[in-house]
Amino acid sequence: SRWETRLKSSAKPRSCTGHTVLVTGAVGFIGAHASVALKRRGDGVVGLDNFNRYYDVNLKHSRKSKLLDRAGVFVVEGDINDDVLLRRIFDLVQFTHVLHLAAQAGVRYAMINPNSYIKSNIDGFVNLLEAVKSITEPPAMVWASSSSVYGLNSKVPFSEKDRTDQPASLYAATKKAGEEIAHAYNHIYGLSITGLRFFTVYGPWGRPDMAYFFFTKDILNRKEISIFEGDNHGTIARDFTYIDDVVKGCLSAIDTANKSSGNGGKKKGEFRIINLGNTSPVSVHKLVRILEKLLKMKAKKKVVLMPRNGDVALTHANISLARIELGYEPRMDLEMGLKKFVKWYLDYYDVKKKSSW
């Protein structure tokens, strides 16, 4: 069929050394950027996404038409819980890697729809691992964990050996569960699995549910923005990591993944968990100051002296392991990166700026 022809042609690498990668969550923020980067360097890429409505689905359609279609990445609309669909895709194409980014993201939404986290981050993940392990030569899996697994651990910077047994949100709990599920699949079936713990990823085409994004929107609309602080006035800070740095880390994780020699084979794939952060946390107040400067507008700040449920106070990555394993080195500082985000935002939403300085 036409569908199969398009899928197969998108999956074909440009050279014989290129990889063939299935990217789940392909019209998501990180998935769209990663798919384009893989395709640009000559890998074959097939995207899979259910275009869920957790946030503005128009943005997902725009990422598809403006980024993925232009790069020539074919996207299958479907769910990782659909095992018939997964089998059909894996029957059509022999993938070398799966970059698994599909998930229910966000910390606060778990209080509204807890089951969506279990469905995508646990059931869906297991479903995908089951499909992968059934392939004679299973692709290596690189997937998105999260800095949120460090939870209430207060020892910073976070290193991969630190405790992760105190999640502060259901989201974090499902990411932590994912790491343990992945370990079991590595142990039993020898699947090669790399879990990347992303730290607050931001940039053009970003997620509207994240603070830097809705602060920008609210500042432009002269709306009050709430800044949550613990009752001890502890300021919240995040290790903001620019999208291009994270994508480089993902590509390098794909390139360095050691492959198992299949179900019956002797060589067991490796199991890795690696932080991908920026190693320089910035407070929410500083974030707002940078946005004010870039937008040339004053924010109406309201400080709320109450910790926001599910949020941890500080995230800060130790990236020694990423340096060794992936040759990873974050390049973008927050002000430069936000400048690129703001430029994209004003352009995408066609905002005519009225300065209020």
User: Which listed range, 90-98, 195-203, 229-237, 306-314, lies at the site for ligand NAD (CB under 6 A)?
Assistant: 195-203
Least distance to ligand NAD from the beta carbon of 268, Å?
Answer: 25
Compute how many residues bind ligand NAD; rule: CB under 6 A: 28
| Helices 211-220, 284-295: crossing angle, 10 deg rounding | 40
- Active-site position among 171, 185, 202, 212: 171
**Cα separation, 102 vs 50, whole angstroms:** 9
What DSSP element (H or E) covers 298? none
Cα 98-23-11 angle, rounded to 5 deg: 85
Q: What one-letter code names the amino acid at 198? A: F
**Cα separation, 348 vs 335, whole angstroms:** 20
**Cα separation, 301 vs 288, whole angstroms:** 9
Q: Is 35 in the site for ligand NAD (CB under 6 A)?
A: no
User: Which listed range, 12-20, 79-87, 261-269, 326-334, lies at the site for ligand NAD (CB under 6 A)?
Assistant: 79-87
Choose between 298 and 348: whose C-beta lies nearer to ligand NAD. 348
Least distance to ligand NAD from the beta carbon of 142, Å?
Answer: 11
Beta bridge partners of 98: 22, 141
Active site residue 348: no
**Cα separation, 110 vs 133, whole angstroms:** 30
- Per the CB < 8 A criterion, the answer to whether 139 and 96 are in contact is yes
- Per the CB < 8 A criterion, the answer to whether 330 and 279 are in contact is yes
Binding ligand NAD (rule: CB under 6 A), the pick from 43, 49, 160, 239 is 49
Q: Is 25 in the site for ligand NAD (CB under 6 A)?
A: yes
Please report, as residue ranges, which positions from 114 to 133 form the binding site for ligand NAD (by CB under 6 A).
120, 124
**Cα separation, 331 vs 222, whole angstroms:** 32
Q: Is 201 in the site for ligand NAD (CB under 6 A)?
A: yes
Choose between 81 and 256: whose C-beta lies nearer to ligand NAD. 81
Q: What one-letter code names the amino acid at 228? A: F
Choose between 24 and 297: whose C-beta lies nearer to ligand NAD. 24
Residue 300: exposed, middle, or buried by beta-carbon count in 10 A (0-12, 13-18, 19+)?
exposed
Q: What one-letter code names the amino acid at 309? A: N
Q: Is 31 in the site for ligand NAD (CB under 6 A)?
A: yes
Quote the tokens at residue 330. Answer: 């974050």
Q: Is 30 in the site for ligand NAD (CB under 6 A)?
A: yes
Least distance to ligand NAD from the beta carbon of 298, Å?
Answer: 27
User: Which listed range, 21-29, 68-76, 218-226, 283-291, lies at the site for ligand NAD (CB under 6 A)?
Assistant: 21-29
- For 243-275, the DSSP string reads HHHHHHHHHHHHHHPPPP--TT-SPPPPEEEEE
**Cα separation, 252 vs 250, whole angstroms:** 5
Quote the tokens at residue 32. Answer: 């769209």
Least distance to ligand NAD from the beta carbon of 356, Å?
Answer: 29
Alpha helices in 69-148 (DSSP H): 69-71, 83-92, 114-117, 124-133
Q: Which residue is nearest to ligand NAD (CB)?
A: 28
Q: Is 27 in the site for ligand NAD (CB under 6 A)?
A: yes
Q: Is 50 in the site for ligand NAD (CB under 6 A)?
A: yes
Binding ligand NAD (rule: CB under 6 A), the pick from 11, 19, 28, 46 is 28
Please report, as residue ranges, which positions from 140 to 179 form the binding site for ligand NAD (by CB under 6 A).
144, 146
The site string for ligand NAD over 89-108 (x = CB under 6 A, - otherwise) reads ------------xxxxx---
Q: Is 207 in the site for ligand NAD (CB under 6 A)?
A: yes
Which residues here bind ligand NAD, judged by CB under 6 A?
A: 24-25, 27-31, 49-52, 60, 79-81, 101-105, 120, 124, 144, 146, 198, 200-201, 207
Active-site residues, by number, are 171
